[in-house]
Structure 1
């Protein structure tokens, strides 16, 4: 039966041509998107390539900017501090945009850190007090362990034993509790150990009355006061070095002329002032890899039409009686059709994605348009997952075609439950909550299989579907689509068995 259905498909030129058009549309629109994306920075009156984003130990793009008061540490050792106070400023907050107010943003951080070097992206482990999330132990940008809640004062400690860094906290400096451990593979003999402070931007989101939102980020700064600073281990002297990691020439006017970042030491008291963030980078770092597949929605419409016609053409011409006569078990006949259209669609989606992703990535890099790096397995999931998405959508379209037995109705309904919700959710025309519910409850949840940017709670950003963030995990969203396809196919089999053609 499968061989018979495959023979039908390959002998109808329109269906084969439609499958080829799907591949061409996805590839062509992807290449057009990549060729139209450019990026450049200015150096005076001259345009120059923008600097590359720093990469973390896992190869991900990261934010790595903070003020660091440090000393070299050779071998094992520890640092213990008493963080007595933590204050900050937020510039031009809403609604009064001409004011500067005191305050800490939720992920402002100050504490102790051990870092392989002062190079951006170098491995690190830190224990810090945050603006609103209590004490945290973080390492290598993506890992975050919660300590106890509450504001300053706090006692913080980091110890190094080989490649293992252990974080502790205490309320009184006597009774210590362990927060967690981090293993930083390949740490050199000499690392940098000390105190730090930073503060990401103040994120404000204003919802529009007609849907969508306006996202703004404002400059903030944090100052932390430390005393009872104790170092154990082999350090190279008692002089504290101050460095603004990741700043370069990127200081704002506020930093230059008002309250500069830095270290102020008075006896045994240290005041560290800093801005920036230590976290994974989000959409601000460049294009996500799935953007190269921007032509998929248009291509899906073509494949939906092909899948619907694969079943409705037989009803329209009366050939379904011949099909069922050759295979009296009606359910098996429909399942054979589903397997054939699913396999054809998977192959077409695989070819399109396998061409588009590497080719468009190369074009974007050639245009100096940054693209966020992802692990190799994530790239494989993007390409194969896109093919699986196309296949399941085609099966859903086939099932609806069998249920409605009318081409126009089946095509319209399939587009309405797959393509339309995806467009509404990602085009910033709906409020955030409505967009997320659409991508949870409709078959468009399956597009989550293409997500390459995980959402990290310690990152300051607006995780909207328009930026590539889906409310469900990749495979969970894909499972929602599969459930709809299975339900529709089951209903179609039931109707075919109970009602005459």
Structure 2
């Protein structure tokens, strides 16, 4: 305890070290303002919000007619030529024309077989070999999907309940095709499907079929390739429908003007550099001026000295950084929303994890810098080594033109993996997009990423303790 008290006294008696800890916290607190200069663009097109409160892509070509009460629609369907893996063609019941309206659908896809989806985030594969026929049945608020290879033997897919479904809904055929990942970005795509004549039973009033591009003016609909405009046309035995867009959760790539909570913690990077300098100087200064002999003379158990220095550094860094993050994130979220920028939602638990995780990253990195300083004994060399190992990999990974494989490798196997604790965006298995750190998606889970940094720090601290015991002061 006396060693810990001595190291705490030593830390607070050096004004430069105290100022460094304060400056690092201020970097987290005020750095987001540098990204707001010049006035960010405002999101002018509406972002569809799904039933769960998250942003969605609600865009597809819809050939529909009203269904009053209960009813069933059966149709033969197949893609006209090659289709992208998540191109979709099938049957849908929609609760209404509003963006983000509830729905239930059954569909064939270009590469994932038959899927039953509802309310954007719910997706289930149906084990049907060589599907050719689809059926959708409404009974009150309950929608049942079925699939068949021959139109005679049916495989029940899934039954879902859509609460609040109005008495009269729009139902019919739809085609969608999301943008395809192409290199470091995405390119527009569309799909065409041939439908047989729909077989209708139940409450279908006499009406013709109408076609509409759902979600045409929404922020998450990219549009069509020039060579494939959307639409439908009757054929001798049904319809040919071309559609683009998707029915799915929206990702960062779908919203041109969007932000996440992690964007407001970009001050972590300059804060890391400041903390690394402070932590390194805490040990290298003693070597430079020969004070290490006095320190070790007063506390001969060298491992305890190193542990006390690490505890003081980690405690001060975590406390100041956590205070800055807890104050700064809610404040900047309010500012960014006030500027008209869409912010991806995050639960209070996810925000708290990002804030506490940021403080933990800075604290553990401080201990890593202390360990490296003990090993190398030279300030400039130690600072450079730690910055190159922790800050540089993540800055490179955040560069949009870095190949995704390299970006993911850097944030998996280097200490920069720890910044995964800041991510609040979600990967969706039913959505193909650019999932890289540049867009806010990390290859490791938050705590696994932090564990990578902890492993590097534990190894460095162990080596530092060994060398401190064996080398002369």
Shorter-chain TM-score range? 0.7 to 0.9
Query: CA separation of 1:87/1:407 partners in 2, compared to 1, >3 Å: closer, same or farther?
Result: same
User: Which whole-Å CA distance do the structure 2 matches of 1:329 and 1:175 have between them?
Assistant: 79
Is 1:66 the counterpart of 2:60? The answer is yes
User: Which whole-Å CA distance do the structure 2 matches of 1:143 and 1:253 have between them?
Assistant: 24
Query: CA separation of 1:299/1:173 partners in 2, compared to 1, >3 Å: closer, same or farther?
Result: same
User: Which whole-Å CA distance do the structure 1 matches of 2:222 and 2:406 have between them?
Assistant: 37
Deviation per residue, 1:270-328 (Å, 9 max, x gap):
33332222222223412233122222211210011111122333333444444445544
Query: CA separation of 1:273/1:351 partners in 2, compared to 1, >3 Å: closer, same or farther?
Result: same
Instruction: Specify which of 26, 29, 37 is matched with residue 27 of structure 1.
Output: 29
* Cα offset, 1:110, TM superposition: 0.7
Unaligned runs of 5+ in 1: 41-48, 89-102, 206-212
* Cα offset, 1:16, TM superposition: 0.9
Query: CA separation of 1:334/1:160 partners in 2, compared to 1, >3 Å: closer, same or farther?
Result: farther
Deviation per residue, 1:107-137 (Å, 9 max, x gap):
2211122333222212333221122332222
Which residue of structure 2 aligns with residue 361 of structure 1? 333
Which residue of structure 1 aligns with residue 124 of structure 2? 145
Is 1:129 the counterpart of 2:108? The answer is yes
Is 1:87 the counterpart of 2:83? The answer is no
Unaligned runs of 5+ in 2: none
Paired residues of 1:165 and 1:182 also in contact (CA < 8 A): yes
Which residue of structure 2 aligns with residue 294 of structure 1? 266
Instruction: Specify which of 136, 141, 147 is matched with residue 169 of structure 1.
Output: 147
Which residue of structure 1 aligns with residue 135 of structure 2? 157
Paired residues of 1:59 and 1:374 also in contact (CA < 8 A): no
* Cα offset, 1:232, TM superposition: 5.2
Paired residues of 2:116 and 2:157 also in contact (CA < 8 A): yes
Paired residues of 2:417 and 2:449 also in contact (CA < 8 A): yes
Say which is worse superposed, 244-253 or 462-471, in terms of deviation: 244-253
Query: CA separation of 1:304/1:135 partners in 2, compared to 1, >3 Å: closer, same or farther?
Result: same
Instruction: Specify which of 392, 402, 405 is matched with residue 433 of structure 1.
Output: 405
User: Which whole-Å CA distance do the structure 2 matches of 1:260 and 1:442 have between them?
Assistant: 46
Per the normalisation by structure 1, the TM-score is 0.82
Paired residues of 2:128 and 2:148 also in contact (CA < 8 A): no
User: Which whole-Å CA distance do the structure 2 matches of 1:292 and 1:237 have between them?
Assistant: 55
Helix, strand or coil: the match of 2:99? coil
Paired residues of 1:71 and 1:193 also in contact (CA < 8 A): yes
User: Number of matched residues?
Assistant: 467
Which residue of structure 2 aligns with residue 116 of structure 1? 95
Which residue of structure 1 aligns with residue 195 of structure 2? 226
Helix, strand or coil: the match of 2:112? coil
Query: CA separation of 1:249/1:308 partners in 2, compared to 1, >3 Å: closer, same or farther?
Result: closer
* Cα offset, 1:254, TM superposition: 7.4
User: Which whole-Å CA distance do the structure 1 matches of 2:270 and 2:427 have between them?
Assistant: 27
User: Which whole-Å CA distance do the structure 2 matches of 1:489 and 1:258 have between them?
Assistant: 60
Helix, strand or coil: the match of 2:36? helix
* Cα offset, 1:246, TM superposition: 0.8
1:21-420 equivalences under 5 Å are: 21-40=23-42, 50-73=44-67, 78-83=72-77, 85-87=78-80, 103-148=82-127, 154-159=132-137, 165-180=143-158, 182=160, 184=162, 187=165, 191-205=169-183, 213=184, 215=185, 217-218=187-188, 220-227=189-196, 229-231=198-200, 234-235=203-204, 239-248=208-217, 261-265=230-234, 269-284=238-253, 285=255, 286-420=258-392
User: Which whole-Å CA distance do the structure 1 matches of 2:222 and 2:329 have between them?
Assistant: 37
Query: CA separation of 1:30/1:221 partners in 2, compared to 1, >3 Å: closer, same or farther?
Result: same
Paired residues of 2:76 and 2:132 also in contact (CA < 8 A): yes
Helix, strand or coil: the match of 2:344? coil
User: Which whole-Å CA distance do the structure 2 matches of 1:162 and 1:491 have between them?
Assistant: 68
* Cα offset, 1:352, TM superposition: 2.6
User: Which whole-Å CA distance do the structure 1 matches of 2:99 and 2:13 have between them?
Assistant: 59
Paired residues of 2:276 and 2:365 also in contact (CA < 8 A): yes
User: Which whole-Å CA distance do the structure 1 matches of 2:356 and 2:141 have between them?
Assistant: 37
Deviation per residue, 1:162-191 (Å, 9 max, x gap):
666544322122333344455555655655
